Amino acid sequence: MPYQITLEEKTAQPTIAIRTRAAVENLPQVLGKAFGDIMNYLTEIGVQPAGAPYVGYFNMDMQDLDIEIGFPVAQAIAGKDHIQASEIPAGKQVSCLHTGPYNKVDSAYNAMMEWVPANGYTATGVSYEFYLNDPEQTPESELLTKIVFPLK
């Protein structure tokens, strides 16, 4: 599948998130609980997300993923308990849109990992996945995942 890769300069994006570790096979349960906890907290304080839910991946150890699960917010807000204020840092980033099952996003990652050095850039090693539609209401073949690599 050919991917349209976009290079952008972004400002810092405040988020509200849970940082945790999980094995890849546990992600559906871990993400579901975390997104639910964060949405309950946002509802409690009367704040709406300012964008799609995301997961930041800080390593690629499939048995011990270091992840941040969250939502963008319009302005920084205080966290509560295990829910913390965070941000997606400012700077250059590349992104592409993957259409289809979540377990098939590796083709998009591969395309981006080829594009970055071929165009003279270096990735930071962190990646973000933004989930643009609801997997409970969208056929798997139509799921939209925006993948973002911050650049050095």
Chain Cα centroid distance, residue 98:
13
**pLDDT, tens only, 49-59:** 999 999 999 99
Q: What are the helix (H) ranges across 11-96? A: 27-45
**pLDDT, tens only, 25-40:** 999 999 999 999 999 9
What fold, for 6-150? Multidrug-efflux Transporter 1 Regulator Bmrr; Chain A (3.20.80)
pTM of the entire predicted model? 0.95
Residue 93 CB neighbour total at 10 angstroms: 22
For residues 27 and 21, give the distance between their C-alpha atoms in angstroms, rounded to a whole number. Answer: 10
**pLDDT, tens only, 111-123:** 999 999 999 999 9
Mean pLDDT of 123-142: 95
What distance, in Å, lies between the first and last C-alpha atoms of the chain?
Answer: 27
Q: Is the pLDDT of residue 1 over 90?
A: no
Give residue limits of the domains in the chain.
Answer: 6-150
Percent of the chain, pLDDT > 90? 95
For residues 97 and 52, give the distance between their C-alpha atoms in angstroms, rounded to a whole number. Answer: 13
Q: Is the pLDDT of residue 129 over 70?
A: yes
